[in-house]
A and B are shown apart, each in its own frame.
Chain A
Amino acid sequence: MLYEQELKTFVEGTTNFFEVAAQQPASIGSPYLMEGTPSVHEYTGVINISGKREGVVYFTAPKAMLTVLLMKMQENDFSHETMRDLVGEVANTISGNARRDFGRDFVISVPSVLSGEKPAIPQKPGQRSFIIPINWRSHSAKLVVSLS
């Protein structure tokens, strides 16, 4: 069973990124559960977790949101690579936060970045995931926590 604190650590890692990097806090939408593999947006940053918990946590965002985020960060390069870079950094932040809070119990991988509509995210069959919408400005991304 996932603890509230664990979920909060991942959520805060994500919202913190927006607040610090773009000086505009993100809010979280209505969270829900999902069985099977949730759909993803164009860009996805994934961290794998093993140890006391097993599974994946990923941040998936649409291109439009990343573009605005980059603008807010005063970037003017909106290439595919930069987008990948950005979701990677978000995942990196989530991973750092998690290491700080659960470093003793979890083994947390270096983030990897996937792009495209149907990327292969390894997921345990029958695993229920927490989907937490991350709303920022008019855009919406998803934080998916899929741990057992």
Chain B
Amino acid sequence: MKLNAAPVNGKRSYKLMIVDDSNIMRRRIERSQQFEELELVGTAGNGEEALDLFRRTDPDVVTMDLTMPRMDGIECIGRLVELKPAVRILVISALADKATAVEAMEKGANGFLNKPFTDRQLNEAIAELMR
């Protein structure tokens, strides 16, 4: 399962969307990820916003918070995968219980990262996600 994307300047480029109700977290993820091939197309603060943004920008990679107002992350993951089965979703959540993780994975997430996280943990999780 490889990501498909059009090559840009001879290099593959993937569109990234960040979903988190916290501004700090959104900026933190954007700033900390070190993948040149990831190009941020937008950030969203809740599930509904994310869905709308997704329809407009068609991202390849998504980081997803779970506890958010107006449609939580779990439901949002399901909707995104319906829209684009090949999308790669990394759940970034403070919820550390296993049932939540399984639920997210079952809905179509591809990775799981617990908050708080270090830059290294984030990059490892993204690398794993795009493998």
Residues of A within 8 A of B (CB): 16-17, 20-21, 23, 70, 73-75, 77, 81-82, 85-86, 88-89, 92-93, 95-97, 99-100, 103, 110
**What chain B residues lie within 8 Å of A92 (beta carbons)?**
22, 67, 94, 115
Q: Are B116 and A20 in contact (CB under 8 A)?
A: yes
Total inter-chain residue pairs, C-beta < 8 Å: 59
Q: Are A88 and B93 in contact (CB under 8 A)?
A: no
Q: Are A96 and B114 in contact (CB under 8 A)?
A: yes
State whether A110 and B117 are in contact (beta carbons under 8 Å apart), knowing that A73-B28, A103-B97 are contacts in the complex. no
Count residues of chain B with CB under 8 A from any CB of chain A: 20
Most B Cβ at <10 Å: residue of A17, A77, A82, A92: A92
**What chain B residues lie within 8 Å of A85 (beta carbons)?**
22-25
Give 20 CB contacts A-B under 8 Å: A16-B116, A73-B24, A77-B27, A82-B24, A85-B22, A85-B24, A85-B25, A86-B24, A89-B24, A89-B25, A92-B94, A92-B115, A93-B115, A93-B116, A96-B93, A96-B114, A99-B97, A99-B100, A100-B96, A103-B97
Query: Complex: how many Å from CA A88 to CA B100?
Result: 20
Query: Complex: how many Å from CA A73 to CA B94?
Result: 18
Q: Are B94 and A95 in contact (CB under 8 A)?
A: yes
Taking the nearest CB of chain B, how far is it from the CB of A100, in angstroms? 4
Query: Complex: how many Å from CA A112 to CA B94?
Result: 14
Query: Complex: how many Å from CA A95 to CA B100?
Result: 13
**What chain B residues lie within 8 Å of A70 (beta carbons)?**
24
Q: Are B24 and A99 in contact (CB under 8 A)?
A: no
Q: Which of B1-58 contact A (CB under 8 A)?
A: 22-25, 27-28, 31
Q: Are A96 and B94 in contact (CB under 8 A)?
A: yes
Residues of B within 8 A of A (CB): 22-25, 27-28, 31, 67, 93-97, 99-100, 114-118
Closest 6 CB pairs of A and B: A96-B94, A100-B96, A20-B116, A92-B94, A103-B97, A96-B96
State whether A97 and B116 are in contact (beta carbons under 8 Å apart), knowing that A82-B23, A85-B22 are contacts in the complex. no
Q: Are B97 and A88 in contact (CB under 8 A)?
A: no
Q: Are B67 and A100 in contact (CB under 8 A)?
A: no
**What chain B residues lie within 8 Å of A103 (beta carbons)?**
97, 99
B31 nearest CB neighbor, chain A only? A74
Query: Complex: how many Å from CA A143 to CA B129?
Result: 35
Q: Are B117 and A20 in contact (CB under 8 A)?
A: yes
State whether A93 and B94 are in contact (beta carbons under 8 Å apart), knowing that A16-B116, A20-B116 are contacts in the complex. yes
